[in-house]
Amino acid sequence: MSVSVKDVAALAGVSVGTVSNVMNRPEKVSAVVAARVQSAIDDLGFVRNDAARQLRARRSKTIGMIVLDVRNPFFTDLARAAEDRAARDGLSIILGNSDEKAERESTYLDLFEEQRMHGVLISPFGDMTDRLHRLRERGIPAVLVDRTSTDDAFSSVSVDDVAGGNLAVDHLISQGRTSIAFVGGPLGIRQVVDRLEGARAAAAGHPEVSLEVIITGALSVIEGRAAGNAILARPAGDRPDAVFAANDLIAMGVLQALNMQGQLHVPRDIALIGYDDIDFASAAVVPLSSIRQPTALLGQTAVQILLEEAADPALAARQVVFQPELVVRESTFSPDRAAARPNLPESSLER
Amino acid sequence: MSVSVKDVAALAGVSVGTVSNVMNRPEKVSAVVAARVQSAIDDLGFVRNDAARQLRARRSKTIGMIVLDVRNPFFTDLARAAEDRAARDGLSIILGNSDEKAERESTYLDLFEEQRMHGVLISPFGDMTDRLHRLRERGIPAVLVDRTSTDDAFSSVSVDDVAGGNLAVDHLISQGRTSIAFVGGPLGIRQVVDRLEGARAAAAGHPEVSLEVIITGALSVIEGRAAGNAILARPAGDRPDAVFAANDLIAMGVLQALNMQGQLHVPRDIALIGYDDIDFASAAVVPLSSIRQPTALLGQTAVQILLEEAADPALAARQVVFQPELVVRESTFSPDRAAARPNLPESSLER
DNA sequence: CTGAATCGTTGAATCGTTTTAAGAACGGGT
DNA sequence: ACCCGTTCTTAAAACGATTCAACGATTCAG
């Protein structure tokens, strides 16, 4: 039924050790023997049993990755970049979706530990510090993605979310907006907290600007829609004139709610800016201004660091922080208002 | 460094066999011994080595799944449903993204074979029949998802795409449209071909209706946008008055292109219907009419069948086909035109 | 022509779990 | 006291690839 190295060895008339060498250190084997073994492999359709290989090697050739939401294009882009980088070293990535639930996150970590993964990339939701320490003791390094480590014990690769929040609100203010609502949540997610902090810092420098906070239950289109409807339900004088959404999914939900009733116009009545700059952002009802993160770079760097730590466990933890970038589209672009504080040339309007 | 059953056995003062029994057949072990073993496990922080377990069991506890595009919400929904169903039987799912590339698809199949997966769920792009036969000979069953099998040798779970295409075009015709463009591709994807076939069948019954076919390189927003721009570039008299997109991503791209220039209005000038009914569809510039598939049911059923085949390899292949459903939103709703052929009550307009 | 170095190959040991046949302990009935 | 039938527990044999010390065959320097 199943063909093993033993069968290959028998057919090729060599020992199992040689078969292994043909596959793993070809330079140790003479060309003629290698050819004989190779054709035996082909004839029998031999496929190496990864479980046996891992058992002997004491670690897997797979990297486990946990993200907050696979349906968020930001994370799939991230995963894809990580996958490409890992493939260069012959490793594969398995992707787990925590769905912003600590329990699911924990289940994946259990799975990864059982599988003796080569390493773990995680965009943590709950506080997994203890779990990660334990994994490391077991020889499985972890790198935090899109999040700075709370205790500097682990390497992390992230984007400066405080700066991003700052960029977003600064931009809204420069467009003449003074009553700004931050929409996002839950506050258990570090990115949300940081972006809010950046927003607060930006608003703090302007006494005429007020910043209101609307907490959502998750970073999804649905939750954004609910928040948008809540805003819509308020009396006209009581509505913000700008919304900074914690990510693009929220922003799209808000946009949908505001726009659908046809009463309010974005950006005329309410300016809207999101975060992540996912593909869908530019395809929205009104092309969405957003904060772009260097996603591919983030993913590649995370894998790079993980591999280095896997090779040398004694390596010190590193914190890599990238800077986000403002992308202006129609959802915040109002020439009339901006004229008051012109700090964005029209040419920076991106499609 | 690593703690094994041996260490647990030593600490608990029993043999390794007993430790294994505590974990896998608790009923074979006396309560007092079980408790002693359990506390040894906890004290040492023992975590079972899955590679060794698999090696012994000769098959993994993981199901491999390959989809055409992880960034398409339809597939992530599908994967999520499969995952939930698999978890009920203590199995996990690893998700591979073929990105509509035969080479990537093949790479994942190699990986799955090396890992001696419990089974494979695949939404095939290229012709993988030979590969799948080989997997089955090796004891790894496969179920085709969202695709009927070409040779009935494998079970499949799918939605009737011909019926879906029919529904879509029928609906457009009922709205008074006569010059319809099908946008989608490549034709290597069965779903695309089937939807087109359904579209043709629907159009065939109406001599006054013409159906034009625009092939895209992939089922993505970008490709849809390109197709939309191509339509826009044509002289006014030469444009279709309705577009049936092979999926919602394409539809969103088309919508974006048509809408952005502000020259054409959807649905007034061109009606637009997509396929899959992803969450984003209702969040689009103009809420998108679409063909909805019973995604969760699809995923669950696929896993169910896979598990049955894994348990009994002699089982005959089954083809399960679900029926799609029309969801009407604004992108195809034009009361004035529809009046000519009223077959859709206004109440069926869905938000 | 010899001894050493080089090269390719071998065979056995190893990784950690599960499984199975056999053995030990225990109690009840005679 | 002995036998028998349960329960529990044990020891050893898989599973399949990798690795490493050892070995035989060549080649080469002296």
Q: Write out which nucleotides of chain D lie closer than 7 A to a protein Cβ.
A: 7-12, 14-21
- Residue B58, by phi and psi: left (phi above 0), alpha (psi -120 to 50) or beta? left
Could you tell me the two tokens for A269? 């009545």
Chain A span 157-196 residues with beta carbon within 7 Å of strand C:
none
CB contact under 8 A, A58 and B113: no
Q: How many CB atoms lie within 10 A of CB B85?
A: 21
Out of A136-145, A151-160, A281-290, B29-38, least confident range: A281-290
Distance B33 CA to D10 C1' (A): 14
CB-CB neighbors (< 8 A) of B139 in chain A:
1-2
pTM summary value: 0.83
Dist CA A113 CA A131 (whole Å): 10
Q: What is the mean pLDDT of chain B?
A: 90
Q: Is B4 on the interface with A (CB under 8 A)?
A: no
B247-303 tens-digit pLDDT? 999 998 898 888 766 678 889 999 999 999 987 777 676 889 999 999 999 999 999
Nucleotide nearest to A53 (CA to C1'): D17
A146-169 tens-digit pLDDT? 877 667 899 999 999 999 999 999
**Segment A95-104 mean pLDDT:** 89
> Which residues, other chains included, contact B80 with Cβ-Cβ below 8 Å and sequence gap of 6+?
A70, A97, B299
Q: Are B105 and B124 in contact (CB under 8 A)?
A: yes
B241: pLDDT strictly greater than 80: yes
A13: pLDDT strictly greater than 50: yes
- In residues, how long is chain B? 351
What is the pLDDT confidence band of residue B197, given thresholds at 50, 70 and 90? very high
Assign 3-state DSSP to chain A and report helix, strand, coil percentages, each to 5.
Answer: 50, 15, 35
Could you tell me the two tokens for B192? 């695309």
Out of A146-160, A318-332, B123-137, B313-327, least confident range: A146-160
Q: How far is CA A214 from CA A22, A154, A165, B75, in A?
A: 62, 32, 15, 31
Q: Which residues touch strand D (CB under 7 A)?
A: A 2, 4-6, 16-17, 19-21, 23-25, 46, 48-49, 52-53, 55-57; B 13-18, 21, 28-30, 32-33, 52, 55-56, 58
- Tell me what pLDDT residue B222 has: 84
CB contact under 8 A, A49 and B55: yes
Q: Are A269 and A240 in contact (CB under 8 A)?
A: no
CB contact under 8 A, B60 and A51: yes
- Tell me what pLDDT residue A69 has: 86
Chosen from A280, A282, A288, A330 to mutate, greatest number of chain B CBs within 10 A: A280
Specify which residues B244 forms β-bridges with: B182, B273
Chain B residues 213-252 with a CB less than 8 Å from chain A: 221-222, 225, 252
Where does CATH 3.40.50.2300 sit in chain A?
58-159+295-323, 161-292+326-348
**Following DSSP, what letter does each residue of A138-162 receive, concatenated?**
TT--EEEESS--SSSSSEEEEE-HH
Element (H, E) at B142: strand B142-145
Size of interface A-B (CB pairs under 8 A): 109
CB-CB neighbors (< 8 A) of A349 in chain B:
none
Dist CA B184 CA B248 (whole Å): 10
Dist CA B138 CA A3 (whole Å): 9
Q: Burial-class residue A101 by CB neighbours within 10 Å (0-12, 13-18, 19+).
A: middle
Element (H, E) at B122: strand B119-122
A242: pLDDT strictly greater than 60: yes
Distance B3 CA to D18 C1' (A): 21
Distance B38 CA to C30 C1' (A): 41
Q: Burial-class residue A230 by CB neighbours within 10 Å (0-12, 13-18, 19+).
A: middle
- Tell me what pLDDT residue A149 has: 67
Chain B residues 77-96 with a CB less than 8 Å from chain A: 77, 79-80, 92, 94-95
Where does CATH 1.10.260 sit in chain B?
5-48
Determine the CATH number of domain A5-48.
Answer: 1.10.260
Q: How far is CA B132 from CA B75, B113, B145, in A?
A: 21, 10, 13
Dist CA B36 CA B41 (whole Å): 9
Q: What is the mean pLDDT of chain A?
A: 90
Residue A14: closest CA among A296, A214, A35: A35
CB contact under 8 A, A92 and B111: yes
Instruction: Give the start-end residues of each E strand in chain A.
Output: 62-67, 92-97, 119-122, 142-145, 155-159, 179-184, 210-215, 242-245, 271-273, 290-292, 319-322, 325-327
**A113, A116, A351 member nearest B51 (Cβ):** A116
Chosen from B46, B55, B330 to mutate, greatest number of chain A CBs within 10 A: B55
Residue A251: closest CA among A295, A291, A212: A291
Chain B residues 6-45 with a CB less than 8 Å from chain A: 45
- Tell me what pLDDT residue B347 has: 36
Determine the CATH number of domain B58-159+295-323.
Answer: 3.40.50.2300
Q: Are A276 and A306 in contact (CB under 8 A)?
A: no
- Tell me what pLDDT residue B18 has: 94
B72-122 tens-digit pLDDT? 888 989 999 999 999 999 899 988 889 889 999 999 999 999 999 999 999
**A32 beta carbon to strand C: under 7 Å:** yes
Percent of chain A at pLDDT exceeding 70: 93
- In residues, how long is chain A? 351
Give exposure, A17-43, as e/b (b: 16+ Cβ within 10 Å). ebbbbbbeeeeebeeebbebbbebbee
For residue A267, cis peptide bond before it (omega within 30 degrees of 0): yes
- Tell me what pLDDT residue A345 has: 39
**A45, A70, A280 member nearest B70 (Cβ):** A70
Q: Are A173 and A205 in contact (CB under 8 A)?
A: no
The distance of A203 to chain B (nearest Cα, Å) reads 30
Chain B residues 108-127 with a CB less than 8 Å from chain A: 110-111, 113-116
**B47, B92, B138 member nearest A113 (Cβ):** B47
B23-82 tens-digit pLDDT? 999 998 999 999 999 999 999 999 999 999 999 999 999 999 999 988 888 898 999 999
Q: Is A283 on the interface with B (CB under 8 A)?
A: yes
Query: Which residue from B minimizes the CA distance to A72?
Result: B71
Domain B161-292+326-348: top CATH class: alpha beta
Assign 3-state DSSP to chain B and report helix, strand, coil percentages, each to 5.
Answer: 50, 15, 35
Q: Are A49 and B55 in contact (CB under 8 A)?
A: yes
- Tell me what pLDDT residue A19 has: 96
What is the pLDDT confidence band of residue A62, given thresholds at 50, 70 and 90? very high
Over the Cα atoms of chain A, what is R_g? 26
CB-CB neighbors (< 8 A) of A134 in chain B:
45
CB contact under 8 A, B51 and A51: yes
Could you tell me the two tokens for A142? 């972890």
Distance B178 CA to C4 C1' (A): 92
- Tell me what pLDDT residue A281 has: 79
What is the pLDDT confidence band of residue A335, given thresholds at 50, 70 and 90? low
Q: Is B65 on the interface with A (CB under 8 A)?
A: no
For chain B, how long is the longest CA-to-CA vector? 87
Distance A28 CA to D30 C1' (A): 29
Nucleotide nearest to B24 (CA to C1'): C18
